[in-house]
């Protein structure tokens, strides 16, 4: 029996175990990185974009409701001569609610339509002035792309690890933990 052959087998097995430890360390690092990306706070720009979308939708809805509220004045122009009759048919906030009862959402819609630029600027200032957890997260579009990239790397390393483990089992070798 040739002793150098046994030594080379031992060295090869040791190399496989070292590779396995490196792969597992890489997997753990990638999983931690993925967890950090997934759990990171929202990016300021995503918050601003969501608020702008809310303002835009409220403004559009208000325009429809306002037009509906103005319809009686269009149909009966005689009402325009009496401010009290105009007020009885129409109110800036009352236009947003059934039976003319103002609601917080109604006030939001009025601001969204009649003062959209001022409202967006005020909201932007509020968001910019907020204390933000560090590190700020990636914007949602980039976050999803980064999660997809990390998931791909993790899946590749997991497949490699399973492949090596299966080959070792087939050869009757135990790589251990």
Candidates 69, 61, 68; CA nearest to 116 is 61
Pair 127, 80: CB distance under 8 Å: no
- The answer to whether residue 32 sits within a structural domain is no
d(CA 149, CA 34): 9
Per residue of the chain (177 residues), give pLDDT as tens: 556 687 777 777 777 788 888 999 999 999 999 999 999 999 999 999 999 999 999 999 888 888 888 888 889 889 889 888 877 776 777 666 666 677 778 888 888 988 999 999 999 999 999 998 888 889 999 999 999 999 999 999 999 888 888 887 887 777 665
| Same-domain check for residues 125 and 144 | no
Candidates 43, 39, 37, 36; CA nearest to 130 is 43
DSSP state of 97: S
| Same-domain check for residues 76 and 115 | yes
| Same-domain check for residues 128 and 142 | no
- Total count of domains within the chain: 2
Range of 147's domain? 138-177
Helix, coil or strand: residue 103:
coil
> Which pTM value belongs to this model?
0.68
Give the residue ranges of DSSP H helices in 40-174. 44-75, 83-89, 104-114, 116-129, 140-170
């Amino acid at each position: 029996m040739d002793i150098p052959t046994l030594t080379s087998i031992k060295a090869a097995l040791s190399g496989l175990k070292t590779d396995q430890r490196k792969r597992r360390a890489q997997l753990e690092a990638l999983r931690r990185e993925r967890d950090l990306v997934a759990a990171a706070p929202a990016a300021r720009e995503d918050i601003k974009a969501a608020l702008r979308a809310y303002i835009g939708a409220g403004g559009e809805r208000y325009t429809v409701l306002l037009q509906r509220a103005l319809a009686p004045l269009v149909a009966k122009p005689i009402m325009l001569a009496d401010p009290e009759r105009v007020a009885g048919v129409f109110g800036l906030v009352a236009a947003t609610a059934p039976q003319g009862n103002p609601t917080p959402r109604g006030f939001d819609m009025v601001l969204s339509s009649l003062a959209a630029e001022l409202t967006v600027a005020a909201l932007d200032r509020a968001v910019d002035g907020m204390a933000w957890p560090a590190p700020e997260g990636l914007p949602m579009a980039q976050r999803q792309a980064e999660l997809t990239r990390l998931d791909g790397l993790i899946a590749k390393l997991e497949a490699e690890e399973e492949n090596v483990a299966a080959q070792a089992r087939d050869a009757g070798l135990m790589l251990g933990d």
